[in-house]
Amino acid sequence: MARLLREMVAARKPVAAVCIAPVVLSKVLGADQLPHQLTIGTDTGTAAALASMGSQHINCPVSDFVVDRANKIVSTPAYMLAGGIAEAAEGIEKSVKALLELID
């Protein structure tokens, strides 16, 4: 999975990361393929972990998403903030739409 993610970003293919997945993406990409703008919502501890790996964290409500257009990465907090599936679905659905718009 790590190899695939690195190759996708290097090839400028769109990638989406939902819930805690932005942390995994930041860890996988490492300093070689950073900086990237990502979100996990508003949790300060997890945001600090992203920053420590070189990513820029953007605060974001559960109903929204963040697009790093330069790197074609879409992220949304989902269950990092959601109290239920309907709440998570709103941000996830918007993220999928944004991801599809990034496809060349």
Residues with a catalytic annotation lie at 19
Collect contacts of 21-29 with beta carbons under 8 A, ≥24 apart: 21/75, 22/50, 22/55, 22/75, 23/49, 23/50, 23/53, 25/73, 25/75, 26/50, 26/53, 26/54, 26/55, 27/53, 28/1, 28/2, 29/5
